[in-house]
Structure 1
């Protein structure tokens, strides 16, 4: 045993954690995380515990029970200890523990990331840093990316965002306004941050696609106009017009001629563009004679329902991305919730339609969630995974069951949830997943207004009929409601989404 005398009353010595006595501690629960134990296993206990010699010669530890228990778990049987005189009273001992715990300030995420960056500059890889410190490589990688971004670093140090939240901001650092709204979302609604960020990502992707199309048409010398509104009586689709002699116009035949223009917009179908003629009467064109369809108008309630339907369908698409990312992380846990296997068993024996669809698709969703990809003509990776690692059997069963339920969801789920859908989303919520507003609808929970969402994903007004020039109103949720009464005809859809209405 090595002993170093530091004063007449205090000395430092190494003790065997299996032989010490641990006094009652102010900590009622000892959280021996995997990372904590891994760090001790690799580096040993660095900060000495505090104890005093007992009458039987064994050291009684007053402060440091977590380090002692962690050392036993890590099988590191030499722990440094400050050996001090026994406390005069029980009250003094407790005061020592409170002071030691209260005054030990944990490193912030920003400080950790800065230290990781220094280790990287010293030549350590992400894997090496994670291994040495008992961190997850994904977290270290996120921290290094945050340090390299001024916007993300400021979000962590000034606004107390987590590394994962700050990492999201990097993709928006060219737009200070979006960065500000994301910081507000992280502060005011941290549980919903992932959903809000994904909606912004999707909307930004859509906006960029629209801008790219407009730029492409402009470079070809084609005039680009705003999508005509319902009250525009001078602009019509090329397909809806004819010459004075009754011959119909075609896109191929009229492109580049007087009044021809392209309009691009976002609708429930995705990003689409159409060919129009502006001021068509002045160019000697006309609309075919009316069909005699009765004239009607949509009520404000129907218009509101229509806007809600479009907005919720978009929100569902964003939520699906977040949900599946969460499921992949959930299935990577070492230990799944106790009710996960019973849930899986219920799905496998009772939800035959969902399971049959998953089988027909070779469990594509389950493979995606577990990080695999099915290749036609080959054996599914799931079987070898269980064969080579039987401990993964439960995880694979849960993955297959959850993926079967997940694969059966669609944009129709929020409008017409079945009892199976309710059971599935209830299970996800019980396992710690934060439902978005549109997913709350599956469980019958009405959304609460969120100030951060007020400007989210603008609804295309051109998709909503105007009272002054509308055919007979249709059910806002029917396919007929998606047609354009004034500008009927084919539309070039850039991002077709067939999983909608």
Structure 2
């Protein structure tokens, strides 16, 4: 039975590094400077011979960099034999290639390798997996919620979502319910929770900022509110319009750009001697509180608009992952030509930044008139032009879809979403409203 690896702090100058590795190591000034500042964070893997010498098996570049940076000690994981670390990696590769191996087993194998100092990049190289996938598995295993999710048979991707919301009991309960009842909606619900959390944090931060000025913050008054009214809708006892100086509170609003501001109001305006500046309630149609039906409609409107904003993030990430593959999706030729000929605004009004993000292009410069990072990307690279064309068309469609497009869907919206579904996208419930709003136009062969 092999002894468990042990972690030791050793002088890098005493370690034996293979001569060929020493020759090929890329010891850049930046790499050495990083080690000088941070030290060697990931342990190198080595074994100790009978004569006491320690031979590096993995992490030769880090060892040589530590020598150049004059680090006195670095972490070294000592394995039982020269072949021990390689044996572990070989076993993992063999197990991963077995069809019966679950994602939980795969994540556990990566975790075991990480414990003996093998980096995510090295694991990815040895196993043929993408580095991001390995990092995701390790991140899931580093969380109790993620580990528990893997133990229940969830995928690494699902476990990562559970790990992200660890400690949030309400969000965790909702996610578990979705996994149980509507697993294909997990990404959408998770994004909605992220957005809601971000909104709450932004509101809390701005609220604290306003409160620090000494202002009283109240809820936004409804149109039937008889206690609180906007300053602009009131007049003083002398008949003059009320001003901000008369306000005794404010409420917070957020505009379409996500920016916050305050609106001055007067609480208890009747008792304070103010009257309505405009006769809002002269029409009987506007009198009285909202009906239950009106409240339900308002609630649905707000919920669906928020859901559409979250769906936009998920949808664009799907397109980005689609265009990260080696080959363009099947049917891209007709998709693009149909868009250009049937929905002409798509090619003329697309957002270059959104399109560039979809093809993972480098985005330089600042937003200004004529700034178009997709155009810059195409000018610099002649590789895979079809990917840029698909991104251009998708970005054009994206620009036509607003958060309330579910209320009055266009044929272009249906065509776009239906194509994404054909390519494997799972629409959110609010996007499904758009898809179900009408049948796509008949597509005739060119």
TM-score (norm 1): 0.60
Confirm or deny: 8 A CA contact 2:269 2:275 kept in the other structure.
Answer: yes
1:211 matched to which residue of 2? 204
| Long gaps (5+) in structure 2 | 1-88, 366-370, 439-446
CA RMSD of aligned residues (A): 3.2
Confirm or deny: 8 A CA contact 1:155 1:183 kept in the other structure.
Answer: no
1:32 matched to which residue of 2? none
**Aligned-pair distance for 1:437?**
1.0
1:382 matched to which residue of 2? 378
CA distance, structure 1, for counterparts of residue 404 and residue 209 of structure 2? 34
2:173 matched to which residue of 1? 180
Instruction: Sort the Cα spacing of 1:268 and 1:44 in 2 relative to 1 into closer, same or farther, 3 A.
Output: closer
CA distance, structure 1, for counterparts of residue 253 and residue 145 of structure 2? 32
Query: In the alignment, is residue 277 of structure 1 matched against residue 266 of structure 2?
Result: yes
**Aligned-pair distance for 1:198?**
1.0
CA distance, structure 2, for counterparts of residue 45 and residue 126 of structure 1? 13
Confirm or deny: 8 A CA contact 2:378 2:385 kept in the other structure.
Answer: no
1:343 matched to which residue of 2? 335
Confirm or deny: 8 A CA contact 1:226 1:263 kept in the other structure.
Answer: yes
**Aligned-pair distance for 1:301?**
4.6
Confirm or deny: 8 A CA contact 2:253 2:261 kept in the other structure.
Answer: yes
1:308 matched to which residue of 2? 300
Out of 364, 377, 399, the position equivalent to 2:391 is 399
Confirm or deny: 8 A CA contact 1:146 1:153 kept in the other structure.
Answer: yes
Instruction: Sort the Cα spacing of 1:174 and 1:393 in 2 relative to 1 into closer, same or farther, 3 A.
Output: same
1:236 matched to which residue of 2? 229
CA distance, structure 1, for counterparts of residue 354 and residue 160 of structure 2? 26
2:194 matched to which residue of 1? 201
1:142 matched to which residue of 2? 136
CA distance, structure 1, for counterparts of residue 372 and residue 261 of structure 2? 37
**Aligned-pair distance for 1:130?**
0.9
Cα distance per residue 1:45-65 (max 9 Å; x no partner): 9879xxxxxxxxxxxxxxxxx
Cα distance per residue 1:173-204 (max 9 Å; x no partner): 23112112112212321111111111111122
1:119 matched to which residue of 2? 113
Cα distance per residue 1:222-274 (max 9 Å; x no partner): 222333344432222222223221222222x235xxxx122346798966643
Instruction: Sort the Cα spacing of 1:120 and 1:347 in 2 relative to 1 into closer, same or farther, 3 A.
Output: same
Q: Which has the higher contact order (CA 8 A, sep 6+)?
A: 1
Out of 147, 151, 155, the position equivalent to 2:145 is 151
Equivalences for residues 6-17 of structure 1 within 5 A: none
Instruction: Sort the Cα spacing of 1:44 and 1:217 in 2 relative to 1 into closer, same or farther, 3 A.
Output: closer
2:19 matched to which residue of 1? none
Query: In the alignment, is residue 162 of structure 1 matched against residue 141 of structure 2?
Result: no
CA distance, structure 2, for counterparts of residue 214 and residue 431 of structure 1? 43
Out of 223, 245, 250, the position equivalent to 1:262 is 250
CA distance, structure 1, for counterparts of residue 195 and residue 372 of structure 2? 34
- Secondary structure of the equivalent of 1:152? helix
CA distance, structure 1, for counterparts of residue 194 and residue 227 of structure 2? 36
Query: In the alignment, is residue 287 of structure 1 matched against residue 276 of structure 2?
Result: yes
CA distance, structure 1, for counterparts of residue 266 and residue 219 of structure 2? 12
CA distance, structure 2, for counterparts of residue 433 and residue 307 of structure 1? 27
Confirm or deny: 8 A CA contact 1:186 1:193 kept in the other structure.
Answer: yes
Instruction: Sort the Cα spacing of 1:291 and 1:154 in 2 relative to 1 into closer, same or farther, 3 A.
Output: closer
CA distance, structure 2, for counterparts of residue 179 and residue 422 of structure 1? 33
- Secondary structure of the equivalent of 1:227? coil
Instruction: Sort the Cα spacing of 1:440 and 1:293 in 2 relative to 1 into closer, same or farther, 3 A.
Output: same
TM-score (norm 2): 0.67
Instruction: Sort the Cα spacing of 1:409 and 1:288 in 2 relative to 1 into closer, same or farther, 3 A.
Output: closer
CA distance, structure 1, for counterparts of residue 281 and residue 422 of structure 2? 56
Confirm or deny: 8 A CA contact 2:188 2:428 kept in the other structure.
Answer: yes
CA distance, structure 1, for counterparts of residue 148 and residue 269 of structure 2? 55
- Secondary structure of the equivalent of 1:262? strand
